Structure formats: C-alpha cells, structure tokens
Amino acid sequence: MSNLYGVPTLFRIYFLLSVGLYLSGNKGFSVSAFILEVDDESDGEAELHRVWVKYEEGQHDACLHSIQNLMAMASTMAEDPSGAAARPTMKMHYDFEPLDSVVLTLDTATLTLLEQDPSVKEIVQDPKRYPMYMPDSKRTVNPNEAQDRKLLEEIPYGIRMVQADEAWSRGVTGSGVTVCVIDSGLDASHPDFESDRLTGLESTSTGTGDWRQDGVGHGTHCSGTVAATGNNGIGVVGVAPDANIYTVKVFNDDGQFAYASGLVDAANQCANAGATIISMSLGGPLWNPFEFLAFDQLLGQGILSIAAAGNSGNSGYSFPASYGGVVSVGALDDGKEVAEFSQRNDMVDISAPGVDVLSTLPTDRSCYICGEIGADTYATLSGTSMATPHVAGVAALLWSYDPSASVSEIESALVNSVEDLGPPGRDNSYGNGLVSALLALETLNGGPIGPVNPRPTPSPTMSPTIGAGDGGGEPQPCGKDELSVSIRVATDGYASETYWQLARNSDDFPVLAGAGLFDNRVYNVNRCLPSDCYTFTILDARGDGYVKILLGLLACFKFSLLTSSFIFH
C-alpha cells in the first residue's frame, strides 16, 4: 500500500489567485497564491482534474446546462472507432447551490472549454485531505494487557488530563448531544460502543462503503476517544461517554485521502442529521475558498467544527483547521508538553492529549492499523488526530450541560477557559492552552458547579484507602448499630496487580479500599461501619479475579482467591 497517508507524487502548477483577508470570529487568514495539483496517474491517458466551478450569481441552471452539453460531448469524443466507450472524461460529483458552485472531474481539453463559458466565474482545485495521525506511532499492548482490557475498564490518561471525570462527577456526561465524526467509518460491532447511540450516513454517494465498517481503524479510534461507553467493565471510556455518534465515512478502506468537496458534503450531512459538533481528525496543506465558506456557513447555523492542526511539526497551516470557522487543535503528551509533530502557528486555538492515546480499534483485525500492529480492539496512536476528539468530547459535555447555549458561547467557554501552558497567554504551540472540561463548564455556568448528589463525608471510623504498610489496627468492639469488619490480605509476589474495595450500596461510596500494596506482605484491616449493605469487589489486573460479595449486619463470609484470603465478621 504505497504512499498510504502520505502525499503522492504530483505535478504542480502554480498561479496567482486574488484572495483578500478573510475574517471569522477572532481568526483571520490571507492567501496570495493557489496550487493546482494534477495526479500523475494517467498512464498515458488524458490528465484528469478535480475542480470546483463557481458560476455567476443567478446562473445555476445555465451552468448546469453547459456542463450537461460538455458531458455529452466528452462522452461522444471518448468513444473509439469500434464504438466501445473509453474512460469517461467528465463527471459531476456535487452541486453546492448555497456556495454557487459544482464539483467536477474533467480532462484538460474539457476544462479549457468550460473556462470559456460565460456562466462560469471561477475554477479552482479540489484539494485532498488526509488522516492526521502518525503512522509510526501505532502501538498495541502486550497480550496480557490486551486481555485485561477486555475484562476491566481503563480510563486513558487524556480523560483525566482534560478533566472529563470532573464533569462526570457533576452529572455531565454528554447525554443528548450528537457528535459527527467525519473519518474512515466506525466498527459498530465493537463492545465498547452502545449501538443505540450510533448512527451514520446510509447513502452510498460517497463511494466509501458502509459507515459501520472501518477498514483503516482511524475513525474507530477517534470515535472511542469521543464516546466509548463507560461503566461497562471493559476497555476504555470516552470523554463524553453518553454522547451520540453520527458517522460519515469519507475515507475508503485504503485510507489514502478524501477531497475537500467530500468533506464539505459530509459536514452538510452532519448538519442535516442534527449534529451540533463536527470532529475532523484530518487535513491537508492546501487552502480552498469554497471549503472556507462552507465551514463559515455551518458556524452561522450553530454548528461547531473542530479539526486537527496538523502533524508536520512546523509553522505551516493545515485545512480545514486553519479556517476562521473551525477550532484548530494541537497535540500534547502526558506531561502536558507540546508534541514534537504538532503544528505551531497563529491559527492553533487549543491543545489536547495527542501522544500515545489509548482507544478503540475494529475487533476483527481486518483494518489497516490492526494489520500493522497484529492486534485489534484497543491500541495507542499519536497525532493531532488523537487530540481533536478530546476537544469534541468536551464540547459535547458543555452542550449537554446547557443545551440552550449558542455556538459562540460554547466556543468561547471551550477555547478561553483553559489551563494556560507555555508562555503566559496564547502562543503558537499551545494555542490558548489545554482544554479543560471543568473550567469550561464553570465558565458556561457563570460560577462553580458542585458534584451532583455529593457523597457524604466519611465518619472518622471510615478509612477510604488502605495502602501499603497500613495494618488497620486491632479488632475492636462496635456499637449495636454498627457492623464489625475485619479483612486480612496476604499478598504474593504480584501485589501491584491487585485492587480491592468495600463500597456502600446506596451510593457506591468506597468506605474501605486497598491499592499500592507491597509484595509478600500481610495486611489486617479492622473497622466499625454503620449498619448497611456493602459490596466487596476485588480486581486483579491479569484477569484472575473479579468478585462481588454482599455484606449485611452480623453476616459472616469467608473467601479465598489465589494467595490472598479475606475474612469478614
């Protein structure tokens, strides 16, 4: 699969394009030149150009009539003497009336004829867009860790880094919000997605196949960061675990590239489906005036578009991220340092975790990324592609908290309520800073937000964590309305794999817990707890133990697991 995710060999023709200064919101951008790419894929046949054709105002029907005539002429000219039709030399892909334009593929001779048509105002290139992840960053976990992930749920570091868990504790999980992910599709059969929260574009007009299948793996990974299911005991969890995902598949299963026109059509499909957030982990180096106008119009319709800033590690621009109507996202590592590959320019708005991000992959190893790493279901990837869905997920949290908020209020809270990193204030590397769900929520709320149904403060007799070296004291007499609990934990040489807790059933509050234990050590825990029902849970990182036991007043349980023993009174 040569040139996958890289720009293929191209002939390039440079010419000037008169473009002024475009302003949208707080971002501006100017262009003084335009590049027309012609793929060197003709094999001796006529070169084909994929272009946007802008017609004069009010000339939609006249332009279409001219195109139809040219298509008929092209079809006739393409026939050989035997009457067999050769490769078509003209095709219309899209008709974007709100942009006064159509998108065509045509040969050089037909392009020359179209340029002379009085209904045509301008013809410009339809540039390519590529997935924005680093191919060399693909890394799976070892087989034991992979099996653990199927048994236990892990919270990726980026979730806490953007404070999504703080939003969850306040009852904000993305419920009722639809995020449209424009990418390579989604493995809808993955166990870490809830099928009733997944929809997608059923139309085959894109020519990329079923949205429920992802032959690349990129779209499934990004979607998992947005909204992988939480509290299901397996895999990972997304930033907005209760958000809905609407998928538009613009990359086919070879994953090489899409076109700006396909991206504009996909974004319009997102809007038609009711999505308020568009997540695009993709981009390319060439600016397009119609793509710019399309995302500006979507912003005016109340839709927030978010895109990857780019992976070239320089000050170049990537589009659509660098348009005024799109939020541009840079990538950080787990130490909150800007990633070496992340673009650094004056259009970067915000940053998010984008290095070694753990998320979902298709489950059958048939995807490109799966084949490269010889694994499926979960893996880590790096790129501004991975940073983008973190920001989209936080936006979903904001809109689920305040569905009546305007797009400008959401964008302002998202971009301006950040953890400032790097030099004070905005800079070209971090943008405004690291996206923060909690800070953005409090900005949107106009003040602090307390946890929903906050858990009561434990009484002095409760010890929320029993760590290494904690003997827990001697057995003690308890009051008549209290439950005496004694726990003896004997660890083996793999104590770091074990975590246990005793949680109150009424609110899942962990009144006792054990973690960070030392190898080959005996721990005794003795406590008096209020009479109540409790659940004892033990987790073993290698998947050897996952046990729940219901405890009641004066109930006595004896239980053993591997080399550890537990006694309750």
Instruction: Clarify whether 183 is annotated catalytic.
Output: yes
Alpha-carbon distances of 169 from 173, 454, 462, 464, 520, rounded to whole Å:
9, 8, 21, 18, 36
Least confident range from 95-99, 395-399, 470-474: namely 470-474
More confident residue, 56 or 8: 56
Residue 451: which pLDDT band, with cuts at 50, 70 and 90? confident
Average pLDDT over residues 79-93: 61
Please tell me the predicted confidence (pLDDT) of residue 129: 95
Q: Provide the 3-class DSSP secondary structure of residue 132.
A: coil
Residues 6+ apart with CB under 8 A from 317: 29, 285, 287, 310, 343, 345, 347
Same domain assignment for residues 119 and 194: no
Looking at mean pLDDT, say which of 58-67, 154-163, 556-565 comes out highest.
154-163
Please tell me the predicted confidence (pLDDT) of residue 255: 79
Structural domain contains residue 426: yes
In whole angstroms, give the CA distance from residue 29 to residue 22. 6
The 3-class SS string of 200-243 reads ECCCCCCCCCCCCCCCCCHHHHHHHHHHCCCCCCCECCCCCCCC
Q: CB–CB of 551/536 below 8 Å?
A: yes
User: Is pLDDT at 133 greater than 90 in this prediction?
Assistant: no
User: Is pLDDT at 174 greater than 70 in this prediction?
Assistant: yes
- Assign residue 81 the CATH number of its domain: 3.30.70.80
Annotated catalytic residue, options 93, 190, 218, 221: 218
Of 104, 126, 148, the residue that ends a domain is 126
Same domain assignment for residues 279 and 392: yes
CA 174, 177, 181, 186 dihedral sign is: positive
Please tell me the predicted confidence (pLDDT) of residue 99: 93
Q: Is the peptide bond before 320 cis (omega within 30 degrees of 0)?
A: yes
Q: CB–CB of 434/352 below 8 Å?
A: yes
In whole angstroms, give the CA distance from residue 124 to residue 103. 10
Least confident range from 13-27, 360-374, 461-475, 504-518: namely 13-27
Looking at mean pLDDT, say which of 10-19, 243-252, 511-520 comes out highest.
243-252
Q: Provide the 3-class DSSP secondary structure of residue 271.
A: helix
Task: Say which DSSP state 160 is in.
Answer: H
Same domain assignment for residues 70 and 195: no
Structural domain contains residue 477: no
In whole angstroms, give the CA distance from residue 188 to residue 247. 10
Please tell me the predicted confidence (pLDDT) of residue 10: 29
Q: How far from the centroid of its chain's Cα atoms is residue 367's Cα?
A: 18
Please tell me the predicted confidence (pLDDT) of residue 423: 92
Structural domain contains residue 509: yes
Q: CB–CB of 296/323 below 8 Å?
A: yes
Structural domain contains residue 34: no
pTM of the model: 0.73
Q: How far from the centroid of its chain's Cα atoms is residue 565's Cα?
A: 43
- Convert the pLDDT of each residue in 179-200 to its tens digit: 999 999 999 999 999 999 999 9
Residue 108: which pLDDT band, with cuts at 50, 70 and 90? confident
Phi, psi at 14, each rounded to 5°: -105, 135
Looking at mean pLDDT, say which of 204-208, 230-234, 416-420, 462-466 comes out highest.
416-420
Structural domain count of the chain:
3
Please tell me the predicted confidence (pLDDT) of residue 519: 60
> What is the enclosing helix (H) or strand (E) of 526?
strand 522-530
Q: CB–CB of 396/239 below 8 Å?
A: yes
Average pLDDT over residues 44-68: 84
In whole angstroms, give the CA distance from residue 271 to residue 178. 10
Average pLDDT over residues 497-507: 71
Q: CB–CB of 197/227 below 8 Å?
A: yes
Same domain assignment for residues 112 and 194: no
Residue 494: which pLDDT band, with cuts at 50, 70 and 90? low
- Assign residue 423 the CATH number of its domain: 3.40.50.200
Please tell me the predicted confidence (pLDDT) of residue 204: 57
Same domain assignment for residues 102 and 150: no
> What is the enclosing helix (H) or strand (E) of 368?
helix 368-373
Please tell me the predicted confidence (pLDDT) of residue 34: 30
The mean pLDDT of the chain is 77
Please tell me the predicted confidence (pLDDT) of residue 376: 61
Same domain assignment for residues 121 and 213: no
Structural domain contains residue 488: yes
Alpha-carbon distances of 282 from 71, 222, 325, 343, 496, rounded to whole Å:
32, 11, 16, 13, 39
Annotated catalytic residue, options 328, 359, 382, 385: 385
List the Cα angle 533/538/544 in 5-degree steps: 145
Please tell me the predicted confidence (pLDDT) of residue 79: 54
Same domain assignment for residues 110 and 177: no
Structural domain contains residue 238: yes
Name the residue with tokens 């899942």: 508
User: Is pLDDT at 391 greater than 80 in this prediction?
Assistant: yes
Please tell me the predicted confidence (pLDDT) of residue 561: 38
Structural domain contains residue 547: yes
Residues 6+ apart with CB under 8 A from 386: 133, 158, 221, 222, 225, 281, 331, 353, 354, 355, 357, 359
Same domain assignment for residues 268 and 347: yes
User: Is pLDDT at 19 greater than 90 in this prediction?
Assistant: no
Please tell me the predicted confidence (pLDDT) of residue 523: 67
User: Is pLDDT at 454 greater than 90 in this prediction?
Assistant: no
- The neighbour count for residue 233, using CB atoms within 10 Å, is 12
Least confident range from 75-79, 170-174, 316-320: namely 75-79
Least confident range from 368-382, 396-410, 439-453, 518-532: namely 518-532
10 Å CB burial of residue 354 (0-12, 13-18, 19+) is buried
Of 81, 102, 126, the residue that ends a domain is 126
Same domain assignment for residues 112 and 233: no
User: Is pLDDT at 96 greater than 60 in this prediction?
Assistant: yes
In whole angstroms, give the CA distance from residue 191 to residue 185. 16
Please tell me the predicted confidence (pLDDT) of residue 531: 79
Structural domain containing residue 47: 42-126
- Convert the pLDDT of each residue in 261-276 to its tens digit: 999 999 999 999 999 9
Q: CB–CB of 356/339 below 8 Å?
A: no
Please tell me the predicted confidence (pLDDT) of residue 483: 76
Least confident range from 20-24, 438-442, 550-554: namely 20-24
Average pLDDT over residues 140-148: 46
Structural domain contains residue 10: no
Of 126, 160, 177, the residue that ends a domain is 126
Range list of H helices, 87-177? 108-115, 143-151, 157-161, 164-168
More confident residue, 514 or 506: 506
Average pLDDT over residues 446-474: 50
Alpha-carbon distances of 554 from 205, 286, 479, 547, rounded to whole Å:
67, 72, 12, 20
Annotated catalytic residue, options 183, 296, 333, 540: 183
In whole angstroms, give the CA distance from residue 144 to residue 300. 49
User: Is pLDDT at 465 greater than 50 in this prediction?
Assistant: no
Same domain assignment for residues 510 and 427: no
Same domain assignment for residues 96 and 177: no
Please tell me the predicted confidence (pLDDT) of residue 167: 94
Please tell me the predicted confidence (pLDDT) of residue 111: 87
Same domain assignment for residues 423 and 342: yes
Scored b (16 or more CB within 10 A) or e, 435-465 reads bbbbbbbbbbeeeebeeeeeeeeeeeebbee
Least confident range from 126-135, 222-231, 359-368, 543-552: namely 543-552
